[in-house]
């Protein structure tokens, strides 16, 4: 019950606080909307490029071919080989990874080791390139330097940990 009214209570509380402090709420809202549009203007080119590249990789079959090459490596480190396409697409596209996860769960079952591994992987990793393009684009950072390698290492650690957690912790 309380969770259903939490968002309106927060909006009401912030508005009441602003009124008590003498803040012109409408002007502040308009200024925030202008700043949001400026951020959007800076990040849209990177997002469009990213989405186009993902679509081309999937349509050409390159993503599936690369996943086949990675399967032995994933199997050797304890990640179910069937998760290879998900692991490859996750850093690029959250919706693509979710679709891949649904496909794997439908094929293998949600209570299977693969289904549970996919669920934990989706919950414990990030769409790295999307997040970096949005955050760095919004902040005006053009040279990401070590951000992407560090984020991809964190994702890979998440994949290994997810597979191990499902294999050893979840009955």
Q: pTM higher than 0.75, yes or no?
A: no
DSSP letters, 15-60, are: HHHHHHHT--HHHHHHHHHHHHHHHHHHHHHHHHHHHHHHHHHHHH
> What pLDDT does 152 receive?
93
Determine contact, residues 131/123, Cβ cutoff 8 Å.
no
> What pLDDT does 105 receive?
93
> What pLDDT does 116 receive?
94
Q: What token pair was written down for 11? A: 């909006």
Determine contact, residues 171/156, Cβ cutoff 8 Å.
no
> What pLDDT does 1 receive?
66
CA-CA distance, 65 to 61, in Å (whole number)?
6
> What pLDDT does 30 receive?
92
Length of the chain, please? 171
Determine contact, residues 47/130, Cβ cutoff 8 Å.
yes
- Kindly list the averaged pLDDT for each block of 10 residues, start to end, along the chain of length 171: 84 89 88 88 79 80 83 87 87 84 91 93 90 81 85 93 89 68
């Amino acid at each position: 019950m309380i969770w259903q009214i939490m968002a309106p209570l927060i909006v009401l509380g912030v508005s009441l606080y602003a009124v008590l402090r003498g803040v012109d709420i409408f002007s502040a809202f308009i200024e925030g909307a202008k700043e949001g549009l400026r951020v959007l203007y800076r990040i849209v080119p990177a997002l469009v490029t990213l989405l186009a590249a993902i679509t081309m990789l999937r349509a050409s079959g390159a993503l599936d071919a690369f996943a086949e090459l990675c399967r032995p490596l994933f199997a050797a480190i304890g990640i179910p080989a069937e998760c290879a396409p998900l692991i490859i697409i996750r850093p690029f596209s959250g919706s693509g990874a979710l679709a891949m996860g649904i496909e794997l769960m439908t094929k293998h079952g949600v209570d299977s080791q693969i289904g549970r591994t996919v669920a934990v992987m989706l919950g414990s990793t990030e769409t790295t390139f999307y997040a970096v393009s949005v955050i760095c684009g919004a902040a005006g950072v053009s040279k990401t330097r070590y951000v992407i390698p560090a984020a991809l290492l964190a994702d890979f650690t998440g994949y290994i940990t997810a597979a191990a957690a499902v294999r050893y912790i979840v009955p």
